[in-house]
Amino acid sequence: MDQFFRQMTPDTGMDNAGGDQNIDNEVVAQAVAATIDEIYERTGQNSILVTHSQGGLPGWEVPRYTGHVAAIVAIEPGAAPTVDSEAYNALLEQKIPVTFYYGDYIGEEFTDVPAAAMWSMMAATADTFTEAYNAADGSSTVVHLPDEGITGNSHFMFQELNNDVIADHIENWIQENVDQ
């Protein structure tokens, strides 16, 4: 497990949308799944997978390779799984609870700002996923922090001054939605 985490690198700023780099989401997902399996072997506990941004993309694939994901907390993920994709079906088959968290400046009123428009589109994929997932007897929520009275948060909400409030909100979601 230590070796797996040694290979982590910060975002290089490269865009994988065009498939023009060597980031293989399935390889990353398999590595994360192997780590989760090792944690399960050591503790007997399933893992709660917390993903962020581009890391959300391989995160959705992880349940295809392990049955030990208790929940997924996706913090402003690059997108939600497409309905009926292999990732979506693996989540649904295992009945994995999912929640999405979004900070400020995401919504129709911000679409004139290019980055905000992109994040509005990403949040729309979460809404589409959640509607379909819940209709298929899954459990998914989308949390827009300003709607919860929690404001002042960027894409890196875990580094904000109120990160403790956000952590408490996530912990409450876990307590209400995850069997451990």
Which domains does the chain carry?
1-177 (3.40.50.1820)
How many CA atoms lie less than 13 Å away from 68 in the CB half-sphere? 18
Tokens representing 146 are 């300003």
pTM score: 0.87
Question: How long a stretch of residues is the chain?
Answer: 180
pLDDT 10s digits, 98-132: 999 999 888 766 667 777 778 888 999 999 999 99
pLDDT 10s digits, 20-64: 556 788 999 999 999 999 999 999 999 999 999 989 999 999 999
pLDDT band, very low/low/confident/very high, at 9 (cuts 50, 70, 90):
low
pLDDT band, very low/low/confident/very high, at 14 (cuts 50, 70, 90):
low
Partners of residue 72 on adjacent β-strands: 49, 98
